[in-house]
Amino acid sequence: MTPNMIPEPSVEYFYGETLRWSFGFDNPNKAAVIFACLIPLLFQSWMAGWRCRNIWLRGIACLLTGGAFLLAGYCLCMTFSRGALLAAVMGLGYVAGIPFIRERGKPVGKWIANGALLGVFGFLVVWTGLGARTGEATAGDRSVGNRFDVWSAALQMSVENPRGFGSGRSGLEYMQWYQATDCEEGYRTMVNSYLTFLVERGWGWFAVSVIAFSCFWAWTASGNGNGFVTGLRGLLIAFLVAGIFSTTMEEWRLWMLPGLAMLALLVMKLSGERGFRKEPLAVALGVAAACVLALLGKGWVESSKDPLQREFGQTTDGRSVIRISKKGGEGDVIGVIPDSQVLGDFHGKLLRELAEKGDATVVLGADSVLCGRVMLMGSAVNTKLPKQVKELFLLSPEIADVSVLSRIKASAENVHVFLGEIDEDGRVAYWEETGYAEGWEIFVLQGVGIRADWAWEEVTELLGEPGG
């Protein structure tokens, strides 16, 4: 087997010492969505079995559907997904609640049996430990608290960059430009299917999606007297609720059940009642508009509380921050071209500190080299030199060609070089010994090598000094 054929090791998730079942998915929360969707549909099938007139057929139908319901419930419990459990409960509430109201709880025996089956499901939740894990959410569980921090930031991100950051970039952009600088949790998404879609795709696509589904839901509501329709809509409710607590909707396999449910509802609607009342459509549009406006308002509030302001533009990977400054600040403007080898993967946090504590306007992207003060890091010294600049800061610059040194001398009035105390690859000795460095200010950052992020506070202090 060649190195390229070696499979990546799979990640295993545990609750305490108990392995969370993932059923072949990369995350147990994704597997849990399937069972959360099945549970309302299977419970509806159980209730439909009670309508069999033949007692033997009724017994067999209830035995099979009830067993399948409990099996799906057990599998859901073993994923230990709290969001999927809530999704299943919401779907169950819809599926069981509508017939109960319609039939006014009669016949009593049927509803006693329904209650018993739901009781067994509740026992499984407690017995497997999922109930205890769910209770931790009210006891200061940080996995829950962190979600609210991310969701608030997601709404702010969507308001400040309404066109979206681009597919797959929400988690990275959050950690760079919005996550608290003293937090180190890593995120790939917004831990919410809808907010991830909103942050990455923008308000246009988000609003269209919300309005389209709301209209579809209202259009198929007239067939809700059919038990099968109720079960399908319960499945959709479970799927929609599950998407709130994890980014599950990016997995195409999870769309199979809700996709088939929507197709079945569409076929049943077209083959049955063709009319459409205006009232449900008006309500659907009103609810959709209210949801979009509420999220927009919350994002605006979060943005107004942030001491920093950001400007966005097109980058090589998508739309991202190209300028960041302190609101009302009047500090210097400095263009920065970061290098992950020098500042690590999350330079955005450090540049936010520079903008807020140093009262500076930080410019990134193509316009960075047009500023009066420019900071180049690492390899940028050989590739991104400005034509003319008042002050040039070189942070852990790599070894440069002689022609580059000549261009630096010709283009920059003042040159300041920040070098690590530890010479990892010869660049420190090179810049200290080169003849072109005569007259250039050399600063040695104590205790670091190429990675200058460990001495970032010292760098920002030197930037604020006269002539620095």
* Model pLDDT, residue 269: 83
Helix (H) or strand (E) holding 386: none
Helix (H) or strand (E) holding 416: strand 412-420
How far apart are the C-alpha atoms of 190 and 201, rounded to whole Å? 13
Chunked into runs of 10 residues, the chain (468 residues) has average pLDDT values of 44 83 91 96 90 84 93 95 94 88 75 90 92 72 80 96 93 94 89 96 95 90 72 95 90 94 89 68 89 95 94 86 88 89 91 87 89 92 88 92 87 90 90 78 90 90 63
Q: Which has the closest alpha carbon to 357: 330, 394, 326?
A: 326
Domain boundaries, the chain: 14-137+220-275, 140-206+293-305, 310-463
**Residues 15, 81: contact at Cβ < 8 Å?**
no
* Model pLDDT, residue 211: 93
Radius of gyration of the CA atoms of the chain, in A: 29
How far apart are the C-alpha atoms of 318 and 321, rounded to whole Å? 10
> What residue type is assigned to position 463 of the chain?
L
How far apart are the C-alpha atoms of 153 and 413, rounded to whole Å? 41
Residues ≥6 apart with Cβ < 8 Å to 403: none
DSSP string for 220-256 = TGGGTTSHHHHHHHHHHHHHHHHHHHS--TT-GGGGH
Distance of alpha carbon 123 from the chain centroid: 33
- Between the alpha carbon of residue 369 and those of residues 294, 358, 375, 442, the distances in Å are 40, 20, 9, 21
Count of Cβ atoms closer than 10 Å to residue 106 Cβ:
9
* Model pLDDT, residue 117: 93
Tokens representing residue 183 in the block: 């937090």
Q: Which has the closest alpha carbon to 197: 306, 311, 295, 89?
A: 295
DSSP string for 332-356 = -EEEEE--HHHH-S-HHHHHHHHHH
Tokens representing residue 265 in the block: 């509802």
Q: What pTM did the predictor assign?
A: 0.89
CATH of 310-463 among 2.40.50.140, 1.20.1050.10, 3.40.50.1820, 3.40.605.10: 3.40.50.1820
Count of Cβ atoms closer than 10 Å to residue 90 Cβ:
18
The SS3 of residue 291 is helix
Q: Is the dihedral of CA 453, 457, 458, 462 positive or negative?
A: positive
* Model pLDDT, residue 330: 73
